[in-house]
Structure 1
């Protein structure tokens, strides 16, 4: 019935209809809301790059969604490629009126918002891998189904990109550790519904955070991230800048959003950036 390698026309895969841009705008671009514009493009290199290039001319709340990204990026310059209309690939332009030193919470905030929105609309239990991955369970195995990339755009703006695998089948996964909402037995894979839910959740959490002047505790963000973070309480290996490696137990998230790792010698180290590997007990 379906084919992911059809003619390339908008209905080459009947399980993957295009997004309804007009309907999404009616639902999300509201007079007193955060979202000021919403554009759906058939294909682009990177929605983050597209928004960053126009950051000075666009107001806060601009949203770009791509049916397909040919140069999608994750952290550490990793690529993020998926079949057309198989996921949600979006970027939002934010210009937060909060102290810049708190902007590092935005990827974590986006993760909380995505997990909150998708848990309701897709009916799937998701968790967060610090600092920016969304995890689902596929056959009892932890799989990455989404990722977040935040990038500064000029002096006062930040572009936050979010990619979510929605209907990828097992034979379409880029790597064995990847997953999708479909493979996690989602009750809904309707991308319009999922996108509305994610953006409404992001608007809520961003509003709470800005009203609290970016304070992660006062806004409830730190507590929500901690509650949904699969990394905490686990043994981890952190591959740090400068080819340094740190291994220990992930015990907390500090006020700056850093992962606090308890090391063998009884001390702790706060990790601000790095590649985190969840280790099994036998590792």
Structure 2
């Protein structure tokens, strides 16, 4: 793919690429900081514009025969034109207003495939910690894949995470596929609204780090902090064979999860709905609901609506 820069076609007049409040990422500095001996990150690419970093990396990961790309590739876009979240929802944001990136992870035989479902939750923990550390903003996690901030006393979505499995033939899905080393993997995509202004919000329930009062909206240190946190948690989780309890991930996720302790409605596949109090995240990463019928039911997939505290 050839990166597209629209600044020339825009002429001397105002261009979406010339917003002084939204400087470009420094790709060279990011590589120097992240790609080093012994690091998880092998390659960091920054493109001006693409449809979806997840789609691009999924295609690259499955190409080139058995194994495809090695894990540790990071693809970042200054603008996405066909970004998507869970359930094929669209993600729209102005150029350079956020951080939009995808990473390729291949747990291989070190982690049983049935535990790969923890990867989006693990990423959420790393993202929340990175934003707090580098941006000075309080965040919370909505199970399974949303990053929340508080704007004007209201809970708003400022980020989302999408994980797609990659097999030897490039097959994708919600969880991992082949368990052979290099044979399967997961592309995890992250989108975070950083400097989005109130008049740029795609929906009233959206938010951004800037609107939440972040101390810093400098995207370079924000991205470095998130990727370093992801490397750290992924290393711990992988070393523990994917046991989220043993490596502390389950506890860390529960501590930062805004869904726990609330009455929620789980909108499940097959047009089913389940209402109950979210009481735990179990060892498989599922949300456990205590229903009015007096039973605890784990939810592994679905859309969660927060009803009340």
Considering the TM-score relative to the shorter chain, is it more than 0.5? yes
2:31 matched to which residue of 1?
Answer: 25
Instruction: Could you tell me which runs of 5 or more consecutive residues in structure 1 were left unpaired when the two chains were aligned.
Output: none
TM-score, normalised to structure 2's length?
Answer: 0.88
Instruction: Write out aligned runs for 1:121-270 (5 A).
Output: 121-154=134-167, 155=178, 156-270=184-298
| Contact kept in structure 1, 2:263 and 2:307, CA below 8 Å | yes
Q: C-alpha offsets along residues 100-141 of structure 1, whole Å, 9 cap, x if unaligned? A: 000000000000000011111110110000000000000110
TM-score, normalised to structure 1's length?
Answer: 0.96
Distance 1:262 1:41 in 2: 45
Instruction: Write out aligned runs for 1:42-191 (5 A).
Output: 42-56=48-62, 57-97=68-108, 98-154=111-167, 155=178, 156-191=184-219
CA RMSD of aligned residues (A): 1.2
Distance 1:131 1:171 in 2: 28
The DSSP-based 3-state class of the residue aligned with 1:279 is strand
The DSSP-based 3-state class of the residue aligned with 2:61 is coil
Q: 31, 38, 43: which is aligned to 2:44? A: 38
Q: C-alpha offsets along residues 30-51 of structure 1, whole Å, 9 cap, x if unaligned? A: 1110000000000000000110
Displacement of 1:265 in angstroms is 1.0
| Contact kept in structure 1, 2:16 and 2:95, CA below 8 Å | no
Which stretches of structure 1, 4 residues or longer, exceed 6 Å deviation after superposition?
Answer: none
Displacement of 1:58 in angstroms is 1.7
* Matched pairs, number: 276
Displacement of 1:157 in angstroms is 1.1
Distance 1:113 1:280 in 2: 26
Displacement of 1:218 in angstroms is 0.7
Residue 278 of structure 1 pairs with residue 278 of structure 2 = no
Instruction: Could you tell me which runs of 5 or more consecutive residues in structure 2 were left unpaired when the two chains were aligned.
Output: 1-9, 63-67, 168-177, 179-183
Displacement of 1:280 in angstroms is 2.5
